[in-house]
Amino acid sequence: MRLSKSMIAAAALIALTGTALAAGEATIEARKQNMKAIGGEMKAIAAVLKGESSDTASLPTRTKTIAEAAAKSKALFQEKALGGETAAKPEIWGEWDRFAAGLDAMQVETAKLAAIDPTDKAAFGAQVGVVGKICKNCHDTYKEKK
């Protein structure tokens, strides 16, 4: 059977679209996992601050994990990927600089948090508050509510 040029073009297009979809899903999954890791550690830290957990020894590791994940976050959002299982709003890529400024602030403030000795409870608690506000500000604007 001889394939016509248009059939070949159509097949190529289908192949391309398939690849793009798979790549988009991987992008979405990676940025969600990154946020999830940050969220899990923030929750555990909040539990200690509220006195629901006495695991103070883990605090330095947790803040370090958060700072490291925060530093990777911008690269994970760079590629516009929508349409799968995502809560990301399309505005992210329409106002990229504003969105990215939020991720930059998260990176700066989580690095500061990781540098604070958690036994200095007042300073540590205040900085957790600063970071938490950055999370909320961005989610209110750029993340779909569930």
Q: Is 39 in the site for ligand HEC (CB under 6 A)?
A: yes
Q: Which residues contact 131 (CB under 8 A, 6 or more apart)?
A: 42, 66, 106, 109, 110, 113
Rounded to an integer, what distance in angstroms lies between the CA atom of residue 12 and that of residue 3? Answer: 12
According to CB under 6 A, which residues from 3 to 22 bind ligand HEC?
none
- Work out whether 87 is an interface residue with ligand HEC (CB under 6 A): yes
Shortest Å distance, C-beta 15 to ligand HEC: 26
By beta-carbon proximity to ligand HEC, the closer residue of 84 and 123 is 84
Position among 103, 113, 114, 128 found at the interface with ligand HEC (CB under 6 A):
103
Residue closest to 66 by CA, chosen among 27, 107, 104, 31? 107
Which spans of this chain sit near ligand HEC (rule: CB under 6 A)? 28, 31-32, 35-36, 38-39, 42, 86-88, 99, 102-103, 106, 131, 134-135, 138-139, 142-143
